[in-house]
Chain A
Amino acid sequence: MKPLLQSETFVRIAAPLAVGVALLAVWEIGCRLGSIPVYLFPKPSDILASLIKNGPSLLRALLITLRITLQAFAAAVVLGTLIAFMFVQSRAVEVSLFPYAVLLQVTPIVAIAPLIIILVKNTQLSLTVCATLVALFPIISNTTLGLRSVDPGLASYFRMNRASRLKTLVRLRIPSALPYFFGGLRISSGLALIGAVVAEFVAGTGGRSSGLAYEILDAGFQLDIPRMFAALFLITITGVFLFGAMVGLSNLALSNWHESQIGTEA
């Protein structure tokens, strides 16, 4: 059993890695053979060099973007869960408020970001608000769906045993909602990052408190294309890391009963 599992894990890591290395090699060789100028399309080696050269400033920008992302994500999780709990308390509340949640979701963040940046004085806070708005909806809709997706048989069992509203919520509704909630987390974590970067683009703030989006803008102005790619690379890596963390968290919480993990424990 173990060698198979090991080899499967190995394949799952090695195969995409091989594809990535091959793509980078083609990119590098193609740029060299075609003598494409670095200000048009840099080689991977140029990007790496830029990443090392501009390391400190890029890292500082990354930390700022990451902070906004995590703040917005946390706010979205707390707010979204609270709103979902409110929605399931009564149909009337959900029916009257859900269209506005949808409205929030379909309005492009680029369109409302300038308004928020004007309204909220503190730049950091305004960026966090923008990112929160983007990340909020999946949490609301998934958690609401989850809290409603209670097995009808179990629901009548709880009713028959005269379980209080609170006990039904804690023992039945919340556990039933967990798989949906974690699905929402996966989507929302990525959206929080996108929201943060888009809001930074719109705000276009310079100076010490600027994130990766500003690094991209600034590099564009200066035609420092390798730095642009380096910043983009850092954003992508952050997104992958966030997604991976959410998958890990969800597996940790659900593997015993929801994922395909059959076997007797010690």
Chain B
Amino acid sequence: MKSLMNAPLPSDPVNAHTTRRADDRPPAVEVLSAEKVFANGTRALAPIDLTIAEGEFLTLIGPSGCGKSTLLKLIANLIQPSDGRILWWRGDFGQVGQGDRSLAFVFQEPTLMPWARVETNVRLPLDLAGVPRGKADPRVSDAIARVGLSAFARHYPRQLSGGMKMRVSIARALATDPNLLLMDEPFGALDEFSRNKLDDDLVKLWWERKLTTVFVTHSIYEAVFLSTRIVVLAANPGRIFRTMTIDEPQPRNQDFRDSARFAAYCRELSTWLAEASFPPASGATP
């Protein structure tokens, strides 16, 4: 212990405290009794408690109006909770974006700048953060390569298909090298084939980087395939209904999709979703 105290680490206060075990890492996100009531009186979310550990792939799923997108936007700090609070790595949002505590958000739409080439679109968050071109460019080409679009770096968005545009949007998120990736139904508008392909690639990316991911989807299959944990939400008001842990070997691939276990997960999740959407009669009487 003494030798550790003597170790010259004045510039590294985190490591100076003590050696940490892997599970001692602070959770990426803690939602503490956060609720959201909109200005028009709509109660989008009842007080919710949710802890998201580092390295998790957590999916929010539920019927329309269950507040899954609202919860994701709260976690992204795009909107503020009406009550309760949210912590990122045990701190407030002020320290997010510094060092190894950054966050990236992928919208439902690709939201690309139509006047800019793919590489310029992917470089945007780095430009906005003031990263010099020399440092940014290798990260940009690396991010574009990881989504398999190297041949299209100098194309304009209008020249790409819907799935390719979504890949550009993901590359833009990866370029910032985030520690927390938030995705709001990113593949909802795509055909099933493109969606499966993007899901496969997303699992690989997540597994390579152990990138904490919070994902919102309508698709049961997508949720089971991607997630380590699925949170089922119910509506009126939005609240956590049940949680399903999917402890399966990684990285997952088509074999998992074809397995009987996959089908069993899907069946159970489907039942839960039906219960969350249409509560049984006993629940209706107060």
Contacts and interface: CB of A to CB of B under 8 A. Distances in A.
A158 B110 CA distance: 14
A224 B77 CA distance: 76
B129 interface: yes
Contacts of B107: 153, 157
B159 A262 contact: yes
Interface in A146-162: 151, 153-154, 156-162
B27 to A, nearest CB: 22
Contact of B115 (A158, A163, A258, A263): A258
A264 B114 contact: no
Contacts of B166: none
A172 interface: yes
A264 B118 CA distance: 13
B155 interface: yes
B232 interface: no
Nearest to B159: A262
Given A160-B76, A264-B159, A153 B124 contact: no
| Interface size classification for chain A | 20 to 34
A130 B81 CA distance: 55
Chain B interface helix/strand/loop/mixed: loop
Given A162-B97, A262-B158, A262-B159, A151 B111 contact: yes
Contacts of A160: 76-78, 105
A256 interface: yes
A171 B127 CA distance: 10
Report which residue of A153, A154, A161, A167 has the largest number of chain B beta carbons within 10 angstroms of its beta carbon.
A161
A158 B156 CA distance: 20
A231 to B, nearest CB: 42
A158 B124 CA distance: 9
B199 interface: no
A48 to B, nearest CB: 46
A257 interface: yes
Contacts of B125: 161
Nearest to B103: A160
Nearest to A263: B159
Contacts of B200: none
Interface of B: 76-78, 97, 105, 107, 109, 111, 113-116, 124-125, 127-129, 154-159
12 contacts: A153-B107, A153-B109, A157-B105, A159-B78, A160-B105, A161-B125, A162-B128, A167-B128, A178-B115, A257-B116, A258-B114, A264-B155
